Structures are given as C-alpha cells and as structure tokens.
Amino acid sequence: SEPEIPVTIAMSSGLLFKQEQQGCGPAFKFVEALKAVNAELTNHYPDSEELFKVKLINDSSSSDFLMDHICEHGLGELITLLPVTEDQLVNEFKKNNTHLYLSDEPGLKVQEALNAGVAAAIMFTPTNIITESENQLRVAFDGDAVLFSNESELVFKSGGLQEYLKNEKQNVENTMNGGPFKGFLEVLIKLQKKLHNRGLYKKCPIRTYLVTSRGAGCDGYRALNTLHTWGLELDEAVFVGGANKGPTLQRVKPHIFFDDQQIHVAIALSVETVACWVPSPN
C-alpha cells in the first residue's frame, strides 16, 4: 500500500484572509470544508497522517495578522504559514509534496507549478459566494485540459466541432492522457474511499463532480471510459454539450470549480461560484 502522506494545499494568504478589507477571502468556505473532512477522517482513522494540510504563502510582515485570524477561526491544526519568496515557491512545493496550489494573481508561478507537475490555478472571487454545505467538501472539475490532457481540445480549436466529434468517435475506446488535476482528483477519491469503508456513503463529507462541455455521445463516453480505466469514479458527471455550465453549478453549489476556459470561469462567477482558471500549458 502507498505511504500515508498529508494532502497539501498551498495558497496565497489573500485568498483566505484579506488584510486590507479585514475580511475573509474566496477560499475561506473551501478551507472550512477541508477542516470538516479532517474531523471525520480523524474520527474514523485517529492515527492516520492522511489529512488535508493548508500552507498559507505569506511575507513576514503579515504573519501576526494571519496567525490571529487562523486562531480566531479555529484553523490552527489545519494551516501553517509558508514564508517563502516567489523564486523559492516551486522548489518548496516539490519538497512539501504539494498536491494543489491556488494563487490570487496571474503570473509565471502558476505556470511554473503546472510545468513541475503540481495542480495549480488562479482563484477568482464572485460578488457573493453561495455554497450548500459547510460539512461536505464539494469540488467540481472541467474535463479537457483539467482532468484530461488538452489533446482533444487542440483538435477542436484547429478543426472545429465536426473534426473534434470525428476524432472522439475514432478514439472512443482510447484512454486520454491525464491532465494537470488528475493527481488531485486521485487523492480526493482515495480519502473518499477511506470514508466509504467506514460506512459513510450518502453522508460522505467529500463529493466530486465532472462538469464538462462534452456531449453525451462518443465524446462523453470517452471521458467516462478514461476515468473508469484510471479507476476513478466521480459522484456526478454532467455533460452540458457546449451549453452554459451556470445552471449546473447553481444546482451543485461547489466550494471550488476548476476550468481552463476563461468564459466558463466568468459564467461560474456570475452564478456565485468560486472559480479557478487553469492556464494552458506552455
């Protein structure tokens, strides 16, 4: 069996606590849900190290402010500060076995993290944030260029819809390559299975979603077949077939949604969903 290591999530400190506005940032409810999952895992596996850990990237001038807020919200066991300079970030991620990096600003660091094999994205803030549950972590993923590689998306961009559909039909039984967020989904499902093994099915504190522009034909089948081949089963897969993802996200109310298309990120924000943009690989 694989060694049990923490699921490490690094994020810009401003995503959690905003020093200037004295308020909470867009990742706050996501982090609260991580804390709730840890409580369930510790209850059922008291000796396990396989828990969420959050590394808050900060500069030394904000340490006191952050520690005060971390303690105030009872997040001391979940969060540690990571006082590193930008040029040290990616090396630090490798050293800490970082599974996910969330940034609050566009820049080379997200791209460098992706190039180093770390799931990384830029988080945006909707005007209001609506989530259904504080005790169930809900994570929604796009498919192509997020969970899967961007191979099919490149066919669509170069040849259009018909060429894309032809490609998917020809390759319907061929498993796609993994995208930058495959590893993060793997660790979520690993934790989920541990909780299922303790009888937590309907009340499992982790729920995963695929929300993809693929349709329900060969392209959708190929996505499901790829996930099945990988041994990964999400709780729900929604194939919008090129339609607006907003209604699905309104219904699901995830804590966090990852997409590589800025138009879908904008739509997610318009329906009060915290959305993260995954830049295309260089």
Active site residue 142: yes
d(CA 192, CA 227): 16
Catalytic residue, candidates 104, 142, 219, 260? 142
Which letter does DSSP use for residue 59 in this model?
-
Number of alpha helices (DSSP H) and beta strands (DSSP E) in the chain: 9, 12
**Nearest to residue 185, comparing CAs of 123, 227, 131, 217?**
227
Give the whole-angstrom CA distance, residue 10 versus residue 16.
Answer: 11
CA distance 250 to 236: 14
Residue 264 · residue 142 · CB < 8 Å: yes
The DSSP symbol for 150 reads: S
Long-range contacts of 242-248 (CB under 8 A, 24+ apart): 242/161, 242/213, 242/215, 243/213, 245/211, 245/213, 246/270, 246/271, 247/271, 248/211
Q: Of 142, 138, 146, 141, whose CA–CA distance to 253 is shortest?
A: 138
Residues 120 and 93: beta-carbon distance below 8 Å: no
Residues involved in catalysis: 142
